[in-house]
Structure formats: C-alpha cells, structure tokens
Amino acid sequence: MSKVLIIGCGGVASVAIHKCCQVPEVFTEICIASRTKAKCDKLAAELAPTTTTKITTAQVDADKVEEVIALIKAYQPDLVMNIALPYQDLTIMDACLACGVNYMDTANYEPENTDDPEWRAIYEKRCKEAGFSAYFDYSWQWAYAKKFEEAGLTALLGSGFDPGVTQAYCAYAKKHEFDTIDTIDILDCNGGDHGYAFATNFNPEINLREVSAPGSYWENGHWVEIPAMSIKREYNFDQVGDKDMYLLHHEEIESLAKNIPEAKRIRFFMTFGQSYLDHMRCLEDVGMLSTTPVNFNGQEIVPIQFLKALLPDPASLGPRTKGKTNIGCIFTGKKDGKDKTYYIYNVCDHQECYKEVGSQAISYTTGVPAMCGALMLLTGKWTTKGVHTVEEFDPDPYLDALDKYGLPRSESHNPALVD
C-alpha cells in the first residue's frame, strides 16, 4: 500500500510505469509528473483501464527545486522515482530531503551545461585527482550521504540495468559464488536492429555524451584512461552471436571499485555496429556532439540538442526493433582456495518487450529494474539509510523480483573470458 511520485515520462519511465501498474498491491497510487504533462495524461489514459493502481498526473519542471517541493507536499508520496534525466538528480534529491521522502534514480548526476565555470573547476580538479574524465561521476550524489542518513532517508542510486542489475549481479557473485573476486567484466550487448542507419536507444544527448567520451577501466587501485573506442574485443553472446564490443567508461565501475575493493580489474564493454560508429565519428568531427551553444542566425543553438531533434525518438523504435539484448557480468576469483569463473546475464527480446509494454528492450531492461528497486524500498527489503548504490544491498530479493517481472537471470560456470 504505497503512493509513489514518478518524475519523467520518457522511454524508460513509460516501462517502469507499466510495470508499477502490474503490481497494484504495492503501487496503490502513482502520480506521473513531467515537463510535458500531455505525455503523462496519454500514458495514464492508456493504463487506467488495465490496472487498479490509481493514476494521477502533474506538470513539473524538475530543474526547479521549489516546484518539486510543492508537488511532493501536495501529493505526499512514500517514494520519489526520478526517471527524468541525470541533470535533475540533485534538485530532486534536495526536494526529497526538504520533504522527508525516500529517493531513487537510474543514472548518476551530470550537469546539463558543461561550460558552467563553477562546475568546470570542480570537474577539472576531479579529472586530475581521480584519473578519469567522464562528465558524470558519483561524487555529487555521494556528498548527500550524511544528509540522507541524518534525515533517516534512503537514496537508491542507479537502479536500471547498467548501472543497476549489473551491480546486483556483482553482489550476488560475492555472496554466493566467490570468497574473493579478482576481475569483473561487464558486457552490454544489443543485438537488436531498428533498420535506421543511425539512432540511439535511449535519450540521444545522454547516450552520445557517454559513448563519445574517453574509455576507462579500474586496474590495481587506479583508473586507466584510453581514447574513445580504442579497445575492441569480439565476443560470442548467448542467443545473439558474435559481436564487436568496445571498452567504455561506465558509472558502476566507480562504485564497484569502492564496494568490492579486492577486485584487481573492472572493465565495461558495449557492442556497437560499424554504421553507428561511423555516424558518431562523423557527427563528432563536424561538431554536432558539442554541448557548447553556437549562435545561428541570431539564435543560440546547442549542437547536440539540435541533433536530438533530428534523430528518431527512442520511444518510436519499439515497433521496428528486432533481436535480443544480452547484458551481464563475467567474474574470475577464488572459492575455497580454488580458481573459478562465473557469468551471470539476462537475455531480453525486443519484440517481446514491445508486445508487453509497447517499448524496445533498452527501455525495458532499464524500466523493469527501476520498478524492482522501488519495490525493494517500498516493501522494506532494502532499508539502509543514506545514499547507496545497488551492490550495497542484498541482491537476492531484487534478482528474484527481476526473474518474476521480466528479466530472468541465466548463468554459466564455464564462460569464455574476455582477454
């Protein structure tokens, strides 16, 4: 019996909202609030006849703390699910603290304006000290830990697939399969084909910023940074087949390095087709991925935002995308003094997702864990106060919920390793 405020109504939020409505005994009432209220109203009208969850909608600009506070005060939720963009993480956390409400999201904070001098100074110091240069990192949200603890509140960070489920897989491996973990390779494969020469599977601006950034991995207690897309491997994925994958910087490496300190190496690989890479390189070369505004005919335009307007809306890829995703983690380590290897992953079918919730598998594999993370907080399975990432909690009830609500795990005790 709970009341949940969901902020955002895009590709990922829409799946999470469908899934919440499948569990009305927990999600008794939800309010869908976003910048564009019409999208919330449309989804609410679609779902209302299919669920006993009571759905209301609201308009909110989550960049404005006072608007989020007013909405929380009016609605009185037990939890705020932030499924808007990473740009809104801090304002929504501030509002949750002001109102005494638990918080969760699916991606860590990054600023919308990377030219802001105040942010830039902190960022450049962090690049030097930490050794990686991605625009996003956990420091901004970890800085809220004491405030959430003192308020007796929980902030669950990054409950999507990666970050999210991948960290639960790590916690599960640590709890059940290994005494010590030596290496972790996170492998994110999208074997889906949408038929476009170039499109992104989730918010284009966030996606292209992530993919065009230098890659990095954790090795022997420090970051190793490499030029974007400069480490390539081929892997044969269960139910997908052979794919090229590239080493990327990814946010969960940062928290895993902290929470599984014995791991000597943690890497993240994502598959990309040649057409995607060629288009991205070309767009980058001509400046279309820039976040710095340019003046065009008297109007300020941010190139990457203009590009977003030209690209297909990720939400529209659902009916066209065929194939499967395969995302998981390969571990090496020791159990009872012996070397062992272990692979835990999920395979998800784009068309099956579309049939069930009207979205492709990328939104599905993020939206389902968002609902399952909320379920853990609302049913009292995860109660630690403060600001925490998924691997800090008991993985068992979360993975059981994922098995039940659409993302079942598969395992191999003799996987091919990545060199």
Q: Which residues bind ligand NDP (CB under 6 A)?
A: 7-13, 34-36, 39, 60-63, 83-86, 88, 106-107, 158, 160-164, 202-203, 206, 314-315, 366
Only one residue has tokens 């800085």, namely 143
Compute CA distances 155 → 18, 30, 56, 76, 92, whole Å.
23, 19, 24, 17, 11
Compute CA distances 169 → 192, 210, 288, 400, whole Å.
23, 22, 36, 12
Cβ proximity to ligand NDP: between 205 and 349 the closer is 205
Cβ proximity to ligand NDP: between 12 and 20 the closer is 12
Cβ proximity to ligand NDP: between 151 and 186 the closer is 186
Min dist CB 132 to ligand NDP, Å, is 18
Distance CA 283, CA 277 (A): 10
For residue 75, give both structure tokens: 């609605």
Min dist CB 38 to ligand NDP, Å, is 9
Cβ proximity to ligand NDP: between 21 and 317 the closer is 317
Strands 79-82 and 2-7: parallel
Cβ proximity to ligand NDP: between 163 and 406 the closer is 163
Distance CA 49, CA 52 (A): 8
Compute CA distances 337 → 133, 144, 340, 412, whole Å.
38, 39, 9, 20
Distance CA 173, CA 259 (A): 13
Min dist CB 82 to ligand NDP, Å, is 8
Cβ proximity to ligand NDP: between 164 and 215 the closer is 164
Min dist CB 15 to ligand NDP, Å, is 8
Cβ proximity to ligand NDP: between 259 and 341 the closer is 259
Cβ proximity to ligand NDP: between 71 and 153 the closer is 71
Cβ proximity to ligand NDP: between 34 and 341 the closer is 34
Min dist CB 21 to ligand NDP, Å, is 17
Distance CA 252, CA 259 (A): 10
**Distance between start and end Cα atoms, the chain:** 48
Judged by phi (left if over 0) then psi (alpha if -120 to 50, else beta), residue 118 lies in alpha
Min dist CB 204 to ligand NDP, Å, is 8
- 92 with 79: CB under 8 angstroms? no
Min dist CB 144 to ligand NDP, Å, is 17
Min dist CB 158 to ligand NDP, Å, is 6
Distance CA 165, CA 395 (A): 9
Min dist CB 159 to ligand NDP, Å, is 7
Distance of alpha carbon 10 from its chain centroid, rounded? 13
Distance CA 38, CA 207 (A): 25
Residue nearest to ligand NDP (CB): 10
